[in-house]
Every structure is written in C-alpha cells, then in structure tokens.
Amino acid sequence: MVKKKKNLKKNILITGGSGFIGSAITEYIVKNKYNAIVFDNNSRGNLRRLSKVRKKIKFVKGDIRDKRKLLSISENIDTVIHLAYVNGTKFFYKKPYEILDIAVNGLLNILEFCKKKKVKNFFLASSSEVYQNAIKIPTDEKEMLKIPDIHNPRYSYGGWKIFSELYGVYFAKKYLKKFVIFRPHNVYGKDMGNDHVIPEFLNRFKKLGNRKNFLIHGTGNEIRSFIHINDFISGFDKVFKKGKNQEIYNIGTEEKIKISNLALLISKIFKKPIKFKKTKILKGSPNIRCPNINKIKKLGFKQKIRLKKGILSIIGDLWEKFFQNQ
C-alpha cells in the first residue's frame, strides 16, 4: 500500500485577501509555493481578483469582526498577513466609526486567533497615513507619529494604524516569533477600485468629452509619490523573506509628483487639454508625502516601473478604445 505524501507546505492566512493589495499578495504567496487561506467578506474585495489562483487557495468568506467565523479556520496557520481594513480617503471622512470598528475589533480578533492557534509569524499592513505633517521629507520609518486632531475624521484611519502598530509590537513580544510592519505608499494598478486619486482622475478624463474644466481638490501643488502594484509586490517580497523581527519598512518610491502634474501627465496621454477647477483641500490632507526607502533598498528593492509607464499599463484596452473613437 502506497502512503500518501503529507503536504508539508506552510499555511499562510491573508485577511483582506480579495482586496486590491491583498489579492496581489495572495498571488505572490501561491507563486512561492505556500498554501494560501484567504479570509474576506468581499465588502471591498472581489473574488474576480483571485481568478488566476482561485483553484489553488482556500477562501473563507467572513467579516474580520466575526471572531467565531475566524476561529473556525481549522488549518494549522504558520503566518498571518493582516490587511483587513477599510481604506480610501472619502471613507475616512464619511465613515470614521465604521473604519475604527473594523480596525479595532478586527485586530483584536486576529491577534486572539494567533494566540489560540499558536501562529508564529505576523506581517501587519500599516499605511503612509501614519505620517501626518512629517518633519523630514523623504520620511523614514523613525519619523515621530502623531494624531494632530482627534476630532478630524481624516485621522480615524491613520490614527488607528498607529495604535495597531503599537499594540501589535507588544503583543508580538509575548506571543509571536516574528512580527513585521510594512507601510504601503499610494499603491496603484489595474482593478484598484475608484477611491484613489489615479483612478479618480482617469474616470474624470473618460467623462470630460469636449469640456476642459478638470476638478482638483486643493491647490494642485500637493506632492505625492506612487508605487505600481508590481513594484509593491517586489518590495513586499523583500520584507517577507528578509524583513527582521520588530522592524518597520516603507514600501514605496521616491518619484515625487505634484497632483496638478499628475493630471497634466494623464491629459497628455489622452491628448486632451484641460483647465484646472480647484476646490478646497480636504482638512488634514498633507501638503507633501514621500517615503525614504533606504531601508528596503538595503534588502534589495529597486523601482522598475516609472509613473507614466504604470499609468499606461492601467489604461490598457480602455486607452486603445478611447483613441479608436477620436
């Protein structure tokens, strides 16, 4: 009688694994020969994003606030990658309580899961939103973190991320073998949803028609840096394989651009001249945000996709159809 070989691959749980970043990380985990278990309620995610690996993963539909559902996962989990949050700037202002409810109860539940299931390793997705009114630009991981105004709903997200890092660090010292924090900086790519500046701008250009007035929040002089999802995964790969216990890593690029120049870049791609229609900047939005990525560079990270090339890759078929109709 031939004995069946045991599956010796490690089980990795990805919360929020059908979201934009989560699905890319799930694909990465599968590609690297791990067993991927995705936990998501698809409120912001979509199984469509997992179509390439759907047959190779286990998907558990559930709300991260549902402790019973989370604890029903029977696999012996070696590593957790926690991304189950609500993001998108408009949600910070419109639904601060929901953001905090999911974040607080979600983190407490996943850490209790780790404690009960004896999980060894934990990778926490934080955010560039922890850097409010940064003193140093580019901003490194040692920047002092603060919540400038607890009554400004903008900080419901960034404020919670700060607390999750703090809580996670001390939980890990007691219950985990390895705890690593990564801070994504304006990740963009195909199928990222419509709640971020690049897809918002692309949608506005699609709807412009013969009009020229183009809406921008703020002066247009606000500066951001963006990282394509493929480069982000390259950075995550370095953190996942080489990141040290209790360390924090920015994952982004140092390619800065003014928001007005971002709009002009897209207008050149679409060959549509525009005139800016400026509105008040949202309260709490920083004038500049750009990460210092020296730490992740030392792990071997290099940006490969410049912003213009990345935007062209997003437009794809839509761009071709646009010009066919000109």
Mean pLDDT of all residues in 276-290: 88
Other residues' Cβ atoms within 10 Å of the Cβ of residue 231: 22
Distance CA 64, CA 47 (A): 17
Q: Is the pLDDT of residue 316 over 50?
A: yes
Q: Out of 3.30.70.141, 3.40.50.720, 3.30.499.10, 3.10.20.590, which CATH number does the structure's domain 11-188+226-251 have?
A: 3.40.50.720
Mean pLDDT of all residues in 236-255: 98
Mean pLDDT of all residues in 252-278: 93
What pLDDT is recorded for position 206?
Answer: 82
- Whether the Cβ atoms of residue 185 and residue 131 lie closer than 8 Å to each other: no
Helices and strands (DSSP H and E) totals, the chain: 10, 14
What pLDDT is recorded for position 8?
Answer: 67
Distance CA 307, CA 203 (A): 17
User: What confidence tens digit (pLDDT) does each residue in 172-215 have?
Assistant: 999 999 999 999 999 999 888 777 899 889 888 888 888 889 98
CB neighbour class for 225 (10 Å; exposed up to 12, middle 13-18, buried from 19)? buried
Q: Provide CB contacts within 8 A for 280, sequence distance 6+.
A: 217, 218
Other residues' Cβ atoms within 10 Å of the Cβ of residue 145: 17
Q: What are phi and psi of 217, to 5 degrees?
A: -80, 125
Other residues' Cβ atoms within 10 Å of the Cβ of residue 255: 16
Distance CA 275, CA 234 (A): 37
**What are the boundaries of each domain within the chain?**
11-188+226-251, 197-224+255-284+305-324
**For residue 178, what is the enclosing H or E element?**
strand 178-184
Q: Alpha helices of 59-154 — where are they, by DSSP H?
A: 67-71, 89-94, 96-117
User: What confidence tens digit (pLDDT) does each residue in 48-104 have?
Assistant: 999 999 999 999 999 999 999 999 999 999 999 999 988 777 788 888 999 999 999
- The β-bridge partners of 160 are none
What pLDDT is recorded for position 324?
Answer: 45
Q: Where are the beta strands (DSSP E) in 20-103?
A: 35-40, 57-61, 77-82
More confident of the two residues 278 and 182: 182
Q: Which two tokens stand for residue 190?
A: 């195909």
Instruction: Assign domain 197-224+255-284+305-324 to its CATH architecture.
Output: Alpha-Beta Complex (3.90)
Q: Is the pLDDT of residue 114 over 50?
A: yes
- Whether the Cβ atoms of residue 202 and residue 188 lie closer than 8 Å to each other: no
What pLDDT is recorded for position 222?
Answer: 94
Q: How confident is the model at residue 107 (pLDDT cuts 50, 70, 90)?
A: very high
Mean pLDDT of all residues in 210-231: 92
Q: Is the pLDDT of residue 1 over 70?
A: no
Q: Provide CB contacts within 8 A for 172, sequence distance 6+.
A: 122, 178, 179, 245, 246
What pLDDT is recorded for position 7?
Answer: 57
Mean pLDDT in the chain?
A: 91
Mean pLDDT of all residues in 259-272: 92
What three-state secondary structure class fits 278? Answer: strand
Q: What are phi and psi of 154, to 5 degrees?
A: -55, -35
What pLDDT is recorded for position 325?
Answer: 45
Distance CA 218, CA 220 (A): 6
Distance CA 174, CA 287 (A): 39
User: What confidence tens digit (pLDDT) does each residue in 159-168 have?
Assistant: 999 999 999 9
What pLDDT is recorded for position 104?
Answer: 93
The alpha-carbon radius of gyration of the chain (Å, integer) is: 20
Q: Is the pLDDT of residue 312 over 60?
A: yes
Distance CA 13, CA 29 (A): 10
Mean pLDDT of all residues in 261-289: 89
What pLDDT is recorded for position 326?
Answer: 44
User: What confidence tens digit (pLDDT) does each residue in 120-179 have?
Assistant: 999 999 999 999 989 999 999 999 999 999 999 999 999 999 999 999 999 999 999 999
Q: Is the pLDDT of residue 233 over 70?
A: yes
The pTM assigned to this predicted structure is 0.92
Tell me what percent of the residues of the chain surpass a pLDDT of 90.
74
